[in-house]
Amino acid sequence: MTPQAAATSANGMPEQTKVVLNGNELAAHAASQINFHVMGYFPITPSTAVPEELDAMKAAGVHDVHMIPGDGEHGAAGICFGATTTGARVFNATSANGLLYALEQLPVQSGSRFPMLLNLINRAVSGPLNIRGDHSDLVYTLTTGWLTFMAKDPQMVYDMDIIALKVAEHPEVRLPAIVSYDGFVTSHQKRRAYIFSDRQVVQDFIGENKPGYISVDPDNPVTIGPYMNDDLINNRRQQAMAMVNAKAVIKQVFEEYAKISGRKYDFLHTYRMEDAEVAVFFLNSSFDTACEAVDIMRDRGHKVGAVNLAVLRPFPKEELQAVLKNVKILCVGDRQDTYGTGGGSMSLEIKAALKDDPENKTRVYSRIYGLGGLEIYLEEVVEIIEEAIEYGKSGIKVPYEYVGAFEGDETYKPERVEKPLTAADQTPGIVSVEVDEGTGKLKVSGANARKLTQMPKRLAPGHGACPGCGIIPSLNNFMRGIEGPVVVLFHTGCGMIIGSGYPFSAHRVTYVHNLFQNGAATMSGIVDAYKERIRRGELPDRPITFIHVTGDGGNDIGMGPSIGAALRGHNMIQLEYDNEGYMNTGNQLSFSTPLGHATSTSHVGKAQAGKSSHNKDTAQIMAACHIPYVFTGCEAQHVDLTKKAAKAQYYAREYGFVYGKIFSFCPLNWKCREQDARQIMQAAIDTCFFPLYEIEKGVTTITYDPEKKNKRIPLIEWLKLMGKTRHFTKDSYAELLARHEAEVERRWQRLKAMHESPVL
């Protein structure tokens, strides 16, 4: 919880507490104090800490915001839209491609006029993938009709979240609002800030939400979201008017907020602009660095200043015209590019605003900087201002250029570190598979651990996985059952991030990444286009095994495309490593997290007992697609896993889509010792929590039956081994344990029945 050192109360204003928190933590504190009815969210770096902190506070009983994890950002945005139609106060936080995945929903929210608050933690839009901050995500929202406030530092995140919601709910406005702040710089830098000591102050300030229409009043049925033809333009005009109205409302709310907080905001941040002839514009956190650079240049006798926006929508055109009136030259730092217009969005919008002032003679040019979170140092901003001063005398020489991009050394020709694995290398002939004439099922021979050390690993050493990571041995034990060349496609996730940090790749075979709702679809395209190019005689017909690797998270947000690929029956294997959470983004719950297990979005505390629902049975979902082969596997029974790989390869080649779920160890987030992997994984199997089985052309076979081996142990024997489940050992969680046990038992009995009957 928040360390509290000093509370301040001055001039009769409400008491505030001094804290040292980052932007995400302050967003969570604002949300907690507002006490939203609902947060619909899906974790994405660098916004994840917002729901994490909020969930931690919820478990501690600080607030009662109902937290709903979406199946992806699109789903999360839908949850938010639905919740707002009831008149509830609703909150969401996202970044980058998460925003883009939800983008379709943003005009629905604004066009239907249901206010809510979205924290957009700025991050570079992929691909190639980058998790750090720039404004390429933000600019996608500019035409969605949302109010947009900018928070340049953590204090402003807290303040703007409160201000934005009040503006959004104002009867003259009724629009959703974004509060946008820089990924990592603002989201993760811990700074001194002040928050109201009593949340009632915040709630009183915002006041009551008075929704016009709600979806849950049986006495007053309404139709929300009709289809509109010629009338749509009128709806849009109302929306445009609301944005105009917001201007006056924002001004008023800024003044009211200053009265209770002592912090006065305006549409713009300006620094030493009174007599400035040369100015730089930087949005969000870089503005502070620019202020320092302005001081340096002022000391050298130059009349320079800096400008930033606190409000991006409605766009403060008049305010910009006024502050830039006497400025001769303005360099706009654009932390995104529009590609092909000669500037980023901010330079284009500012140019347009100034064009409307017939008196204005400011010349404006664009510098693209800081993409993908590339640091901008003070010295670089000083150089930018020096150039602007020079342009003031000479005129603009280069109106559009990238700052900080590096040329590289053209004489450098990177040599291949390793000779590529050949088809022969990958075909040592150790594991073989044949059809058993009697049963019609497959028989595998040769899976011997000693011999299999000869199969070259498709993944090179030197990758960035955590010590003890289960993903690598899971993949290794599977891959050594796959004879011949392979092409892999990884969804976003731990497995992806550890093996492809530019300019390094741990993949010895061809590897493709796509964002993690879409891996199965992408692999479908590769598989079928490869066949088509062979059919047209453009490529030689060589037997490649196509393997799509996903985490359990990828198969939450990507379940739809996975089912789509399964139903189309492409000749590919989908391999899911299931470590029961979104580990790459910091251990948020996935639908595969079991009941009661603690994650960073399902904390255990006095008001909450871990995840509230049971784990998803993905293998059975995929079995219901009636694909030729489904299996489960685990490195603790690695020979079993390798044999299943050989079968998977056969079925994928001869019949079509294969799905396998591998239970995968994560010591970091399961909170256990790395060297206890074997014991913990085997315990999960022996408790029947994770049964090992396969479904060949619809017929289920349990491949390792702990009961028949007389090895079955109670569920608690597994749960007690991990920090994330150790609370189950306490008497106070007995009922939770009983529910967990009952579900494990129900699924096991069902599986046994399927094993016993070929028609089930």
Query: Is residue 603 close enough to count as binding other proteins by CB under 8 A?
Result: no
Smallest distance, other proteins to C-beta of residue 406, A: 4
Length of the chain: 760
Out of 234, 439, 454, 612, name the contact with other proteins by CB under 8 A.
454
Query: Is residue 191 close enough to count as binding other proteins by CB under 8 A?
Result: yes
Q: Is the peptide bond prior to 560 cis by the omega test (within 30 degrees of 0)?
A: no
Query: Is residue 1 close enough to count as binding other proteins by CB under 8 A?
Result: yes
Out of 226, 503, 537, 540, name the contact with other proteins by CB under 8 A.
503
Query: Is residue 476 close enough to count as binding other proteins by CB under 8 A?
Result: yes
Looking at beta carbons only, is 35 or 505 nearer to other proteins?
Answer: 505
- How far is the C-alpha of 243 from the C-alpha of 317, rounded, in Å? 13
Residues 6+ apart with CB under 8 A from 327: 273, 276, 277, 278, 279, 305, 362
Looking at beta carbons only, is 261 or 682 nearer to other proteins?
Answer: 682
Looking at beta carbons only, is 438 or 461 nearer to other proteins?
Answer: 461
Looking at beta carbons only, is 499 or 554 nearer to other proteins?
Answer: 499
Contact 606/620 with Cβ under 8 angstroms?
A: no
Looking at beta carbons only, is 65 or 497 nearer to other proteins?
Answer: 497
What is the DSSP annotation of 356-371? T-TT---EEEEEE--G
Out of 453, 612, 729, 749, name the contact with other proteins by CB under 8 A.
453
Out of 103, 142, 258, 460, name the contact with other proteins by CB under 8 A.
460
- How far is the C-alpha of 54 from the C-alpha of 732, rounded, in Å? 24
Query: Is residue 473 close enough to count as binding other proteins by CB under 8 A?
Result: yes
Smallest distance, other proteins to C-beta of residue 376, A: 7
Out of 29, 74, 174, 188, name the contact with other proteins by CB under 8 A.
188
- How far is the C-alpha of 163 from the C-alpha of 179, rounded, in Å? 10
C-alpha distance across the termini of the chain, in Å: 51
Looking at beta carbons only, is 4 or 252 nearer to other proteins?
Answer: 4
Contact 558/516 with Cβ under 8 angstroms?
A: yes
Contacts with other proteins, 506-525, as mask; x by CB under 8 A: xxxxx---------------
Tokens 């396969």 sit on residue: 694
Name residues contacting other proteins, limited to 32-51 (CB under 8 A): 45
Name residues contacting other proteins, limited to 733-752 (CB under 8 A): none
Query: Is residue 634 close enough to count as binding other proteins by CB under 8 A?
Result: no
Out of 26, 54, 206, 471, name the contact with other proteins by CB under 8 A.
471
Give the orientation angle of helix 519-535 with respect to helix 559-568, to 10 degrees: 30
Query: Is residue 606 close enough to count as binding other proteins by CB under 8 A?
Result: no
* Binding range to other proteins, per CB under 8 A, among 223-231, 232-240, 452-460, 622-630: 452-460
Contact 138/111 with Cβ under 8 angstroms?
A: no
Name residues contacting other proteins, limited to 268-297 (CB under 8 A): 285, 288-289, 291-292
Looking at beta carbons only, is 130 or 571 nearer to other proteins?
Answer: 130
Smallest distance, other proteins to C-beta of residue 372, A: 11
* Binding range to other proteins, per CB under 8 A, among 142-150, 173-181, 371-379, 515-523: 371-379
Looking at beta carbons only, is 577 or 659 nearer to other proteins?
Answer: 577
Query: Is residue 692 close enough to count as binding other proteins by CB under 8 A?
Result: no
Looking at beta carbons only, is 6 or 759 nearer to other proteins?
Answer: 6
- How far is the C-alpha of 349 from the C-alpha of 343, rounded, in Å? 10
Phi-psi region for residue 596, left (φ > 0), alpha (ψ -120 to 50) or beta?
A: left
CA distances from 80 to 466, 558, 632 (A): 35, 20, 35
- Residues in the interface with other proteins (CB under 8 A) total 97
Establish how many alpha carbons lie within 13 A of residue 745's alpha carbon, considering only the half-sphere containing its beta carbon. 9
Name residues contacting other proteins, limited to 128-157 (CB under 8 A): 128, 131-132
Contact 695/623 with Cβ under 8 angstroms?
A: yes
Name residues contacting other proteins, limited to 541-580 (CB under 8 A): none
Contact 93/187 with Cβ under 8 angstroms?
A: no
Looking at beta carbons only, is 221 or 462 nearer to other proteins?
Answer: 462
Name residues contacting other proteins, limited to 659-678 (CB under 8 A): 667-668, 674-678
Q: What angle do CA 295, 299, 300 make, to 5 degrees?
A: 120
Tokens 């092409």 sit on residue: 487
Nearest Cα to Cα of residue 134 among 177, 184, 93, 98: 184
- How far is the C-alpha of 654 from the C-alpha of 433, rounded, in Å? 13
* Binding range to other proteins, per CB under 8 A, among 74-82, 105-113, 455-463, 548-556: 455-463
Looking at beta carbons only, is 93 or 604 nearer to other proteins?
Answer: 604
> b vs e for 610-632, b when ≥16 Cβ sit within 10 Å of the residue's Cβ?
bbeebbbbbbbbbbebebbbbbb
- How far is the C-alpha of 274 from the C-alpha of 323, rounded, in Å? 8
CA-based R_g, the chain, Å: 29
Out of 274, 275, 359, 407, name the contact with other proteins by CB under 8 A.
407
Smallest distance, other proteins to C-beta of residue 508, A: 4
Query: Is residue 593 close enough to count as binding other proteins by CB under 8 A?
Result: no
Contact 134/335 with Cβ under 8 angstroms?
A: yes
Looking at beta carbons only, is 45 or 602 nearer to other proteins?
Answer: 45
Establish how many alpha carbons lie within 13 A of residue 132's alpha carbon, considering only the half-sphere containing its beta carbon. 8
Contact 298/324 with Cβ under 8 angstroms?
A: no
Torsion angle of alpha carbons 510, 516, 520, 526, nearest 10°?
-40
Smallest distance, other proteins to C-beta of residue 15, A: 16
Contact 178/286 with Cβ under 8 angstroms?
A: no
Query: Is residue 300 close enough to count as binding other proteins by CB under 8 A?
Result: no
Contact 577/535 with Cβ under 8 angstroms?
A: no
Query: Is residue 446 close enough to count as binding other proteins by CB under 8 A?
Result: no
Looking at beta carbons only, is 128 or 218 nearer to other proteins?
Answer: 128
Name residues contacting other proteins, limited to 236-275 (CB under 8 A): none
Query: Is residue 635 close enough to count as binding other proteins by CB under 8 A?
Result: yes
Smallest distance, other proteins to C-beta of residue 501, A: 8
